C-alpha cells in the first residue's frame, strides 16, 4: 500500500509540470496585452515596449517559461505585474479562504449526500426515495452561481438573517467567520451533494442486495448496524472515488462562488488576474489549484486503499 | 413428536403470480428435511419466508410456526431475538456470504455480541472452538483472516460455524454446497452432517441436487412450481418414487439412473408463476397426464402415514 501511494506521489510531479505548460500557453493565447492594461489610456508603443522589456515579455515564449518554471522550482512564485508584490504573499492570504470554503463544502456534501443516498436506498421505490431523487435532480440541474444569487436574495435581502457577502478571518472571530460562510458553502456544496446522493443510492442498493447482508440480517444483526457497519463500509469505495473526481469541479466552482459572495480567496484572485492579464498570478494560482485537485485525488485513493483489505493486500504483494 | 417448524398453507406472491402456492411442511426437532427442486421452483423464497428476508413488496399468506411462535407478521425486534440464536441461515453462495471488509473473527464476534453480553476474548475463544469443530485448520490464525484470503471450502465452513455459533435449534441451509466443486462439496457436507447430528439441530436443507439430499436427509420433500408434490422418507423416495416429477428427476440424475444408458431429461421448463396451469402444475410436462389433470389441482394424497403425493394417479378413487 505504501509503495502504491509513493508511486502516486511521484506521479504528481509530471502532472504539475504538464499543467504548468498548459496554463502558461493558454493564457498567452488569450487576446490582450498586460502592458496595455497596466498603462491604460497612456499606452504608447514606446511605453509598451519598455514594459515588455521590464517584464521579460519581449523574449521568446519558451525562454519566458523556463525562466518562470525555474523560479517556481526554487520556491520563487514571482511578482504581481500590477502591484509588484510577491505572489507568495497573495497565495498565503487567499488560500486559507478557499481552503475553508472547500473543506466545509466537502464536509456538508458528504454528510448530506451519503445520508440521503443511504436513506433512499433503504426506502427504495417509496416516498423517501422519490423525494431524494427529486432533490438530487434539482441539485444537479441548478447552476451554483444562480443558487448563490437566489440564496442571497432570500436569506440576506428578504429574511435578513444572513450576510450577503464578505469574509471575516477565522483568527478574528470564529462565529462571524462561519456566519459568512453559510451561504457560499451551501451554494458550492449543492451540486456535489446531488451527485453523492445518486452515487450513494446506487452503491448502497448494490451492496444491500449482497449475500453477506442477507446473512447478517438472518443472524439477527440489527438493521442500523447492517446499514452503517456493513453497508456504508462496502459502498465507500465508489463514493470516495466520485468525491475525488468531483472535487475538481468543486475547485473550479470556487471561482464563481467567491465572486458571487465577494470572498477574497484563490478563485477571486484567478478571476481578477485573468481580467488584468496578470500572467504570473494566474499561473501560480492555477498551479496551486491543480496541486489541490491532485492532492485530493491522492487522499481519496489512499482512503479507498485503507478501507478495502483486498486492495490493501493485493497491491503490496 | 411436536413439530419445531410448521409451515401451513403458505403462499408468497411478489406481485406477478404466486411463487409459493399453498405449501405445507413440518420439520421436527433434530430432523433433517431435504427440500429438492429445480431452479425457479420457489425453494429460496421458502427459506426467506421463514427467516423474514422477503422483500417488502411480497404478499404472504398462511402460517409459519416456529416453536410455537408465529413468524409471519412478527415484529422485526422479536424476530431478531430468534435469528442467529435459535433459527439460523447457512447461506447460499460460499464466496459472497462473508463481508469482504471484515475479518472472520470480527464477523462471528458480531453475531455473538449482538445477542449476548460478553467480551471480545470470550467470543473469540468460542469462535475458535467452533471453527475447529467444522474442520478449519489453524483456527486462531483464521480469526484475523479476511474472506478473500480463504478458499471456497473454508469460507463455507466459516459460514457454517457462524450460523451454528449460538447453537440454534434449527438451520435453514440454502444450497450451502452448490458453489463448491465436488470433492470439497463432499467434505463440507460430511462436516455439516456430523456437526448437525452432534448438536441435534433440525435442518431444512434446500438444494437442487438429489445426490446431496440423499446423503444428508431423513425426509425429503420434492418441490415443483411453488408446491410440494411429494414428501417421503429418504429411503422410500429413492426406492419407490410416486410422483411422475420425482420419477423423472431421479431418472435425470446420473447417480440414480441406470448405468450405460443415455441420461433422461424432462422436456420443457418450470412454468412462470404468472402463467401457471390451472390444474396440476406439472401437467404440461407430465408423461402420464390425463384430461382431469388440466381441470383440478390434484389432491394431497396420503399414500402411507407419513408419505404424501400430490397426483391424481395416487388418489384412491382414481
Buried b (16+ CB within 10 A) or exposed e, B37-76: bbebbbbbbbbbbbbbbbeeebebebebbbbeeebbebee
Q: What is the mean pLDDT of residues A147-172?
A: 86
Contact criterion met (CB below 8 Å) for B246 and B238:
no
Q: CA separation (Å) from A47 to A39, A42, A74, A163, A278?
A: 8, 8, 31, 44, 18
Contact criterion met (CB below 8 Å) for B152 and B95:
yes
Chain A partners of B76 at a C-beta cutoff of 8 Å? 223
Interface contact flag, B81 A220, Cβ < 8 Å: yes
Interface contact flag, B91 A210, Cβ < 8 Å: no
Highest-pLDDT range among B80-84, B249-253, B296-300: B80-84
Distance from the A307 Cα atom to the nearest Cα atom in chain B, whole angstroms: 8
Q: CA separation (Å) from A34 to A28, A272, B200?
A: 10, 13, 89
Chain B partners of A233 at a C-beta cutoff of 8 Å? 99, 101-102
**For the packed helices A232-260 and A87-122, what is the interaxial angle rounded to 10 degrees?**
130
* A230 vs B89, B99, B172: nearest CB: B99
Residue in chain A closest to B52 (alpha carbons) equals A218
Interface contact flag, A313 B149, Cβ < 8 Å: yes
Separation CA B93–CA B13 (nearest Å): 24
Chain A partners of B89 at a C-beta cutoff of 8 Å? 214-215, 218-219
Distance from the A240 Cα atom to the nearest Cα atom in chain B, whole angstroms: 15
Least confident piece of the model among A58-72, A258-272, B170-184, B251-265: B251-265
* B89 vs A215, A229, A307: nearest CB: A215
Query: What is the torsion angle, in degrees rounded to the nearest 10, for the CA atoms of residue A82, residue A86, residue A87 and residue A91?
Result: -120
* B110 vs A210, A221, A313: nearest CB: A221
Residue in chain B closest to A123 (alpha carbons) equals B56
Domain that holds residue B76: 3-314
**In terms of Cα–Cα distance, which of A133, A121, A307 is closest to A209?**
A121
- Number of structural domains found in chain B: 1
Residue A19 pLDDT class (50, 70, 90 cuts): very high
Chain B partners of A212 at a C-beta cutoff of 8 Å? 91, 96-100
Has residue B250 got a pLDDT over 90? Answer: no
Interface contact flag, B84 A225, Cβ < 8 Å: no
B40: left (phi over 0), alpha (psi -120 to 50) or beta: left
Highest-pLDDT range among A27-36, A160-169, A205-214, B247-256: A205-214
Instruction: Write down the mean pLDDT value for chain A.
Output: 89
Q: How many A/B residue pairs have CB atoms within 8 Å? A: 86
* A211 vs B96, B148, B163: nearest CB: B96
Residues in chain A: 317
Chain A partners of B100 at a C-beta cutoff of 8 Å? 212, 234, 308-310
B302 vs A117: which has the higher pLDDT: A117
* B148 vs A222, A229, A310: nearest CB: A310
Residue B248 pLDDT class (50, 70, 90 cuts): confident
Q: What DSSP line would sit under A52-74, residue for residue?
A: HHHHTTTS-HHHHHHHHHHHHHT
Residue in chain A closest to B114 (alpha carbons) equals A221
Has residue B169 got a pLDDT over 90? Answer: yes
Interface contact flag, B159 A215, Cβ < 8 Å: yes
Residue B257 pLDDT class (50, 70, 90 cuts): low
Over residues A1-10, the pLDDT tens digits come to 778 788 888 8
Distance from the B101 Cα atom to the nearest Cα atom in chain A, whole angstroms: 6
What is the ipTM score, two decimals?
Answer: 0.89
Separation CA A300–CA A298 (nearest Å): 6
Q: What is the mean pLDDT of residues A143-154?
A: 90
Q: What is the mean pLDDT of residues B159-167?
A: 92
Has residue A228 got a pLDDT over 60? Answer: yes
Distance from the B158 Cα atom to the nearest Cα atom in chain A, whole angstroms: 12
Q: What is the CATH number of domain A88-312?
A: 1.10.3720.10
* B115 vs A217, A218, A220: nearest CB: A220
Q: Which residues of A touch B (CB under 8 A)?
A: 210-212, 214-223, 225, 229-230, 233-234, 307-310, 313
Test mutation, B57, B79, B94, B99, chain A, max A CBs within 10 A: B99
Interface contact flag, A309 B100, Cβ < 8 Å: yes
Has residue A21 got a pLDDT over 70? Answer: yes
**In terms of Cα–Cα distance, which of B218, B184, B191, B20 is closest to B90?**
B191
Interface contact flag, A309 B51, Cβ < 8 Å: no
Has residue B260 got a pLDDT over 80? Answer: no
Percent of chain B with pLDDT over 90: 43
Kindly report the backbone phi and psi dihedral angles of residue A173, in degrees, each rounded to the nearest multiple of 5, phi listed first. -155, 115
Helix (H, G, I), strand (E, B) or coil at B225: coil
Percent of chain B with pLDDT over 70: 97
Over residues A41-89, the pLDDT tens digits come to 888 888 888 888 888 888 888 999 998 999 888 888 888 888 888 898 8
Interface contact flag, B114 A313, Cβ < 8 Å: no
Chain B partners of A215 at a C-beta cutoff of 8 Å? 89, 91, 97-98, 159, 162
Q: What is the mean pLDDT of residues B154-182?
A: 88
Separation CA B156–CA B115 (nearest Å): 22
Residue B1 pLDDT class (50, 70, 90 cuts): low
Interface contact flag, B110 A216, Cβ < 8 Å: yes
**In terms of Cα–Cα distance, which of B21, B4, B7 is closest to B271?**
B21
Residue B168 pLDDT class (50, 70, 90 cuts): very high
Interface contact flag, A212 B97, Cβ < 8 Å: yes
Sheet strand arrangement including B32-36: B87-90, B170-174, B202-207, B32-36, B219-224, B227-233, B307-310, B300-304
* B100 vs A222, A229, A310: nearest CB: A310
Instruction: Give me the CATH number covering residue B168.
Output: 3.40.50.300
Chain B partners of A123 at a C-beta cutoff of 8 Å? none
Distance from the B68 Cα atom to the nearest Cα atom in chain A, whole angstroms: 19
Q: Which residues of B touch A (CB under 8 A)?
A: 51, 53, 76, 79-85, 88-89, 91-93, 96-102, 110-111, 114-115, 146, 148-149, 159, 162-163, 172
Residue B305 neighbours by CB under 8 Å, 6+ apart: none
Interface contact flag, B91 A222, Cβ < 8 Å: no
Domains of chain A, by residue range, sit at: 2-73, 88-312
Separation CA B43–CA B40 (nearest Å): 8
Q: What is the mean pLDDT of residues A276-294?
A: 90
Residue A317 pLDDT class (50, 70, 90 cuts): very low
Distance from the A305 Cα atom to the nearest Cα atom in chain B, whole angstroms: 11
Helix (H, G, I), strand (E, B) or coil at B271: coil
Residue in chain B closest to A304 (alpha carbons) equals B101
Has residue A201 got a pLDDT over 80? Answer: yes
pLDDT at B205: 93
Has residue B119 got a pLDDT over 90? Answer: no
pLDDT at B176: 83
Has residue A102 got a pLDDT over 70? Answer: yes
Has residue B2 got a pLDDT over 80? Answer: no
Residue B290 pLDDT class (50, 70, 90 cuts): confident
pLDDT at B57: 86
pLDDT at B94: 62
Amino acid at each position: 500500500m505504501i509503495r502504491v501511494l509513493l508511486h502516486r506521489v511521484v506521479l504528481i510531479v509530471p502532472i504539475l509540470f504538464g499543467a504548468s505548460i498548459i496554463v502558461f500557453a493558454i493564457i498567452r493565447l488569450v487576446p490582450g496585452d498586460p502592458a496595455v492594461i497596466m498603462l491604460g489610456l497612456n499606452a504608447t508603443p514606446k511605453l509598451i515596449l519598455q514594459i515588455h522589456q521590464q517584464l521579460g515579455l519581449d523574449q521568446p515564449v519558451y525562454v519566458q517559461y523556463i525562466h518562470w518554471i525555474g523560479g517556481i522550482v526554487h520556491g520563487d512564485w514571482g511578482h504581481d505585474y500590477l502591484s509588484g508584490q510577491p505572489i507568495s504573499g497573495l497565495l498565503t492570504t487567499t488560500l486559507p479562504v478557499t481552503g475553508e470554503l472547500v473543506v466545509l463544502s466537502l464536509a456538508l456534501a458528504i454528510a448530506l449526500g451519503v445520508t440521503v443516498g443511504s436513506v433512499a436506498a433503504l426506502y427504495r421505490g417509496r416516498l423517501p426515495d422519490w423525494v431524494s431523487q427529486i432533490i438530487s435532480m434539482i441539485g444537479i440541474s441548478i447552476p451554483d452561481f444562480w443558487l448563490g444569487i437566489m440564496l442571497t436574495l432570500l436569506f440576506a435581502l428578504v429574511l435578513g438573517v444572513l450576510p450577503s457577502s464578505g469574509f471575516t478571518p477565522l483568527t478574528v472571530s470564529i462565529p462571524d467567520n462561519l456566519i459568512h460562510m453559510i451561504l457560499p458553502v451551501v451554494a458550492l456544496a449543492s451540486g456535489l451533494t446531488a451527485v453523492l446522493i445518486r452515487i450513494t443510492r446506487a452503491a448502497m442498493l448494490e451492496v444491500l442486495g449482497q449475500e453477506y447482508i442477507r446473512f447478517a440480517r438472518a443472524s439477527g444483526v440489527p438493521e442500523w448496524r447492517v446499514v452503517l457497519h456493513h453497508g456504508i463500509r462496502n459502498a465507500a469505495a465508489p463514493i470516495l472515488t466520485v468525491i475525488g473526481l468531483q472535487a475538481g469541479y468543486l475547485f473550479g466552482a470556487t471561482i464563481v462562488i467567491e465572486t458571487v459572495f465577494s470572498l477574497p480567496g484563490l478563485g477571486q484572485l484567478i478571476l481578477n488576474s485573468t481580467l488584468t492579464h496578470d500572467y504570473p498570478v494566474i499561473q501560480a494560482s492555477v498551479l496551486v489549484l491543480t496541486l489541490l485537485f491532485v492532492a485530493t485525488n491522492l487522499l481519496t485513493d489512499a482512503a479507498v486503499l485503507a478501507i478495502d483489505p483486498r486492495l490493501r493486500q493485493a497491491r503490496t504483494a | 413428536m411436536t413439530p419445531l417448524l410448521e409451515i401451513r398453507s403458505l403462499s408468497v406472491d411478489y406481485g406477478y403470480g404466486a411463487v409459493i402456492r399453498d405449501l405445507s411442511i413440518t420439520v421436527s426437532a433434530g430432523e433433517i428435511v431435504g427440500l429438492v427442486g429445480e431452479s425457479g421452483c420457489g425453494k429460496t423464497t421458502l427459506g426467506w419466508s421463514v427467516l423474514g428476508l422477503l422483500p417488502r413488496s411480497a404478499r404472504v399468506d398462511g402460517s409459519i410456526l416456529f416453536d410455537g411462535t408465529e413468524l409471519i407478521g412478527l415484529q422485526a425486534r422479536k424476530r431478531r431475538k430468534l435469528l442467529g440464536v435459535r433459527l439460523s441461515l447457512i447461506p447460499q453462495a460460499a464466496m459472497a456470504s462473508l463481508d469482504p471488509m471484515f475479518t472472520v473473527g470480527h464477523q462471528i464476534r458480531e453475531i455473538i455480541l449482538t445477542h449476548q453480553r460478553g467480551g471480545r476474548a470470550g467470543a473469540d475463544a468460542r469462535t475458535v472452538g467452533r471453527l475447529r469443530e467444522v474442520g478449519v485448520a489453524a483456527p486462531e490464525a483464521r480469526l484475523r483472516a479476511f474472506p478473500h484470503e480463504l478458499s471456497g471450502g473454508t469460507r463455507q465452513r466459516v459460514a457454517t460455524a457462524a450460523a451454528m455459533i449460538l447453537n440454534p435449534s434449527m438451520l435453514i441451509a440454502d444450497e450451502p454446497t452448490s458453489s463448491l466443486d465436488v470433492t470439497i462439496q463432499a467434505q463440507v457436507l460430511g462436516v455439516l452432517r456430523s456437526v448437525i447430528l452432534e448438536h441435534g439441530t433440525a435442518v431444512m436443507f434446500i438444494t437442487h441436487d438429489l445426490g446431496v439430499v440423499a446423503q444428508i436427509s431423513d425426509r425429503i420433500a420434492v418441490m415443483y412450481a411453488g408446491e410440494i408434490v411429494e414428501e417421503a422418507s429418504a429411503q422410500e423416495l429413492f426406492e419407490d418414487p410416486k410422483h411422475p416429477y420425482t420419477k423423472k428427476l431421479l431418472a435425470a440424475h446420473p447417480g440414480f439412473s441406470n448405468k450405460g444408458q443415455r441420461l433422461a431429461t424432462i422436456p420443457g421448463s418450470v412454468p412462470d408463476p404468472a402463467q401457471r396451469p390451472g390444474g396440476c402444475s406439472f401437467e404440461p410436462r407430465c408423461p402420464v397426464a390425463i384430461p382431469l389433470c388440466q381441470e383440478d389441482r390434484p389432491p394431497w394424497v396420503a399414500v402411507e402415514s407419513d408419505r404424501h403425493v400430490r397426483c391424481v394417479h395416487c388418489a384412491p378413487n382414481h
